[in-house]
Structure 1
Amino acid sequence: MSTFSLAVTGQSLILHDIGGDQTPEFEAVKNVLHGADLAFTNFEGTIAGSHGGWPLKGSAYGSSAPDVLDALREMGFHALSLSNNHAFDLGPSGILSTLEEVERRKFLHGGIGQNMGEATSPMTASFGDRTVSIVAMDGGPGPQFMYAEDPRGDRTGRPGVNPLRITSVLEVDPDAFETLKNIRERIGYTNVDYINDCQPDDSPEIDDEIEFLLGRSIYRKADRCERGVRIDETDLQRNLRSIEGAAGSGALVIAYLHHHHWASDWLQTPEWVGKVARQCIDAGAAAFVSHGAPVLQPIEIYRDRPIFYSLGNFVFHTVADSPLWLRQEVWESVVGICSFDSDNRLAGMKLYPVLIGGEDGLLNDDIEQRLVPHAAAGLTARRILGRVIEHSLKFGSHFEIVDDIGVLRLR
């Protein structure tokens, strides 16, 4: 069996027609994708198709026409994760339309389904002499009704997203814990109030000795103040079994997670993400890919398998409704080309830097004109690569820059 090359990119939030862009810099990016045996991205959205649907969000709502999937195919993508915070923007109808349209175009995909079993099950296809499976999860935060559900009792099943439910927990020191708890009691806030605040979701269970509830938040007594998370163990084990089953059949498994539980500094990586990633690899995943934080984050190599903590954005069709989107790092990323040996172990990696909208686009604050990624070169390429290389060092990953490309030094 020959080596297999997998291209991975930032997330693709694609709303507009990009067929008219034929700049050499965009063509260079497409050539990189077409040169891989398989190119993978996260389709950050939902399709407005034959099943209809209604917006289930406020200003953060977004949906795409089916032909954006043709644009992704033309770019070189044949594999998509579909689990993310926009997948349910049109409700179950949008899930069904998205499934219909990606399957019509014969994408390998994962992360949504007509019920929980289907959304969790590894989707599998062959590319050359390699079988590839995707197990894609969403960590929220989002309403519980966006997640797929199997039929049980008198409840019907629900089309939706494959969950890895993650609850934010605010850890505070003992003095702060008692102060906050006293404030809660003085204003008369009870657990019944919390149950009402959580509607339409069920309220989470807590440990009354060290935790209390206030305003949709869980406060936990700890030795220091920091943000933490609680990962649903049932969801985690269900997804690990799915990965294990696909890997056991000989597939190269891509484990994918989308989440918005970022660190306060979104260039940093929360510890819990690494723990989940390593569990996925221990279960048999050949690669762990994550998005959510809209910036490029470090790369770790664990047991000869890559962990991409966040690849940021690849296509990012948004509006200038927040100063956050003007930050330069939002528009910078890499295309990672991973080579795997016959045992699905990493044999090499190259990073091709990209700049969404190109150099001219970065000079223009009209971010809605930054439609496609351009190959970066020179100082821009070295800046993008230099940042991810520096941040990856703390995970023991060593890259060097050769001709504006990041090259992994395998030990």
Structure 2
Amino acid sequence: MRRHALLALCFVLSLTALAPAGWSDAEAQSLSPIADDTRWTLAAVGDVIMNRRIAPFDHPGDPGFHDLANIIRGVDAAFMNLEQSVFRLQEFTGWPAAENGGNYEVGSPETLRDLVDMGFDLFNNANNHTTDYGVEGMRLTNRLLDEWGLIHSGTGENLGWASRPGYLETPKGRIALIGMASTFTPMSRAGKAGPTVQGRPGLNPLRLSTRHEGSPETMAALRDVARRQGANVSDDPNAPVRVFGATVFPGDEDRAVVSLDDVDRERVLHEVRNATDQADYVVVNSHSHEPGNAFMVPPPWMEEFARQTIDAGANTFIIHGPHQLRAVEIYKGRPIFYSLGDFIFQNETIDPMPSDQRDRYGLPLDRLASEIYDTRFQVDGDGNPTTGFPTESRWYESVVPVATFEGDEVVEIVFHPIELSWKAPRGRRGTPRIAPEELGRKIIEHLAELSRPYGTEIVYENGVGVWRR
């Protein structure tokens, strides 16, 4: 659709210009098939970790991939989370960072070309792998995206640039993209530019703080432990206790209360309000693993913040990071995707790997990348991981939602179930295809079950999940 939109618009303008003299503007515009069309479509996917080409699959001989690619090409805008650096490793003059997001994720420029050919034009760059290869790796990735004219957000040369939207111009209107991350390595956080010192390059952060609370019984036990460690502990039952590097406050029950930093919250909401004035539609997204990849329910602070971005003017809020599906909520007529899982998950074929990964698993420097992965995942005789992350099919099953908006509100979402070849050999595992019928139904029913507590009813129809207003 997008590839022909410009030609269609030129055709419409030519019809308007050739309209007979004396026609009103309304009569001239009535010739246009899109003049009164307030509908626009958005496809969204979750995490993309990609270091192998996908172009060879894009032909009718591989219909599962080919049909999926055509679905994405057929929308007005397509969003993804680029969870890696993109540059040619053998030409890289920088070095891997001491901190990384769990693996050193990098792909060649050709992988990005395949993603563009597949139809993606909105890219989030803020995640826990943003600076796996330092600021230089982040800069090279941004430079390549800019050179290709691709719209991205979430990172920049200082906090101001990392926070600002990217803007995609389409025949259906201007779409703003705001990206951020609550899951990130501390050194990747962007900093403000000051009057005398330049800002710090990095990502747009959502900082979190955790308050630990203990029941009266727990607090009494912690006071006893702290005293045995030599600490001077107050007998006041209302006083906090610091033990094992953490401060625990008295409460009614044992719990950890996670709060979003108010400065970061207001900065993002300010950008959303600004983007609402500057664009026709606003897409907000965050890379957020919290409370952890194993959890299928988002934390309360995330639900609250997602709704606040909608209140500030966002048309949709998309979360990626947990590597598995979570619920969908329709809030005030606008969708919140609490996790879209994985879209491309080529997490085991990055080669070569920095020496830090060998150190992590106690391997000598002469060990190859495949031996690092074998140690990390403890693969079975068929090459399938048996321990560690990821070792279950749920990391390789997801959906690609195509949301149809009528103006500011969503009227329909079609969820296309996908599978990433969980049982395929390592060299072919992680590439998406439309899921076969039985698995597709299972994926949609799982998503429907997760979404039902939010009042979102998703039904399985003809191989896809459907929500309608």
TM class by smaller structure: 0.7 to 0.9
1:21 aligned to 2:57? yes
Task: Tell me the distance in 2 between the aligned counterparts of 1:176 and 1:34.
Answer: 56
Q: Specify whether residues 390 and 177 from structure 1 end up closer, same or farther in structure 2 by C-alpha distance, changes over 3 A only.
A: same
Which of 64, 69, 74 is residue 117 of structure 2 equivalent to? 74
* Alpha carbons 2:215, 2:254 under 8 Å: kept: yes
The TM-score with structure 1 as length reference comes to 0.88
Matching residue of 2:416: 352
Residue 353 of structure 1 aligns to which amino acid in structure 2?
P
Gaps of 5+ in 1: 191-207
Matching residue of 2:14: none
Matching residue of 1:37: 76
Which of 448, 452, 456 is residue 389 of structure 1 equivalent to? 448
Matching residue of 2:403: 338
Task: Tell me the distance in 2 between the aligned counterparts of 1:60 and 1:40.
Answer: 23
RCO comparison, higher one (Cα < 8 Å, 6+): 1
Residue 261 of structure 1: how far off its partner (Å): 1.8
Q: Specify whether residues 18 and 184 from structure 1 end up closer, same or farther in structure 2 by C-alpha distance, changes over 3 A only.
A: farther
Residue 405 of structure 1: how far off its partner (Å): 0.8
Count matched residues: 386
1:363 aligned to 2:451? no
Gaps of 5+ in 2: 1-36, 349-372, 378-386
Residue 79 of structure 1 aligns to which amino acid in structure 2?
L
Q: Which has the larger radius of gyration?
A: 2
Q: Specify whether residues 209 and 315 from structure 1 end up closer, same or farther in structure 2 by C-alpha distance, changes over 3 A only.
A: farther
Q: Deviation per CA, 1:169-202: give whole Å up to 9, x if none.
A: 4433232134234424532479xxxxxxxxxxxx
Q: Deviation per CA, 1:183-235: give whole Å up to 9, x if none.
A: 24532479xxxxxxxxxxxxxxxxx9665555564534332223331211101
Q: Specify whether residues 187 and 125 from structure 1 end up closer, same or farther in structure 2 by C-alpha distance, changes over 3 A only.
A: same
Task: Tell me the distance in 2 between the aligned counterparts of 1:329 and 1:246.
Answer: 35
What does residue range 5-404 of structure 1 map to in structure 2 within 5 Å?
5-22=41-58, 23-48=62-87, 52-56=93-97, 57=99, 60-143=103-186, 145-152=187-194, 155-188=197-230, 211=240, 214=243, 217-262=246-291, 265-319=294-348, 321-322=376-377, 323=387, 324-342=389-407, 344-357=408-421, 362-364=422-424, 366-404=425-463
Q: Specify whether residues 162 and 214 from structure 1 end up closer, same or farther in structure 2 by C-alpha distance, changes over 3 A only.
A: farther
Q: Specify whether residues 313 and 183 from structure 1 end up closer, same or farther in structure 2 by C-alpha distance, changes over 3 A only.
A: same
Residue 8 of structure 1 aligns to which amino acid in structure 2?
A
Residue 136 of structure 2 aligns to which amino acid in structure 1?
S
Q: Specify whether residues 394 and 12 from structure 1 end up closer, same or farther in structure 2 by C-alpha distance, changes over 3 A only.
A: same
Residue 248 of structure 1: how far off its partner (Å): 2.2
Task: Tell me the distance in 2 between the aligned counterparts of 1:34 and 1:289.
Answer: 19
Residue 368 of structure 1: how far off its partner (Å): 4.8
Q: Deviation per CA, 1:248-303: give whole Å up to 9, x if none.
A: 23431111111222258522222221111001111111000001111000100000
* Alpha carbons 2:48, 2:344 under 8 Å: kept: yes
Residue 88 of structure 1: how far off its partner (Å): 1.2
Q: Percent identity?
A: 28
Which deviates the most, 208-217 or 321-330? Answer: 208-217
RMSD between superposed Cα atoms in Å: 2.3
Residue 363 of structure 1: how far off its partner (Å): 3.2
Residue 336 of structure 1: how far off its partner (Å): 0.5
Task: Tell me the distance in 2 between the aligned counterparts of 1:21 and 1:211.
Answer: 59
Residue 11 of structure 1: how far off its partner (Å): 1.1
